Amino acid sequence: MEAIENITKRYSALKLTDPAPDQAALEQMMEAANRAPDHGRLRPWRFIALRGEARDRFGDVLVETLKKRNPDVIDTMVDRERAKPMRAPLILVAVAKTQESKKIPEIEQIVAVGAATQNVMLAAHAMGYGAMWRTGDSAYDDGVKKALGLDPKDTIVGYVYLGTAAVPGMPPKGMEEVPVLSEWTGPAA
């Protein structure tokens, strides 16, 4: 697949199923991640793979932390939270492990992780896999971070769900109506 076509034809899958990327495909995705722009070559990205029964255990973590955030949560929300890890046969938790640096601000490191994550998604698409990137309250929860072996100061940039697209994605509605490019000609008056 040509690079521009890969970028312009990639959409988040609506539903994912088996097969998930195998270890060789994951290694290629990590190689793509390592090509992300990275001021200072800090490589602040880490990816944690969740598959098989680990997804069930992660569902338990999501429910436990949801109940701590909202003790009055209703059963349907608990069920929905427990089911999130089952959206795909493989989840990569994209993590920013930033370093204190006078030269490289934290935001640059977090943006580098976003770029690495996008590279993973583009590599998955080029190999014929579907992907979707999600976050939600659990991504910002210190209990979830602790369960994953992370420090509270680490940032979960997102959960990348990977598998085979059972329902392919499509362009967002109104995409052509959003002005994403403007031209600056000088300071505002």
3-class DSSP state of 69: helix
| CB distance 55 to 81 below 8 Å | no
Q: How many residues does the chain have?
A: 189
Neighbours of 141 (CB within 10 A): 20
pTM attached to this predicted model: 0.93
One-letter amino acid identity for 149?
G
| CB distance 119 to 36 below 8 Å | yes
Q: CA nearest 98: which of 149, 38, 147, 141?
A: 38
Compute the half-sphere exposure of residue 157: CA atoms within 13 Å on the CB side of its CA. 24
Compute the half-sphere exposure of residue 53: CA atoms within 13 Å on the CB side of its CA. 0
Q: Which domains are assigned to the chain?
A: 3-166 (3.40.109.10)
User: pLDDT 10s per residue in the chain (189 long)?
Assistant: 699 998 988 999 999 999 999 999 999 999 999 999 999 999 999 999 999 999 999 999 999 999 999 999 999 999 999 999 999 999 999 999 999 999 999 999 999 999 999 999 999 999 999 999 999 999 999 999 999 999 999 999 999 999 999 988 887 777 677 777 888 889 987
| CB distance 51 to 19 below 8 Å | no
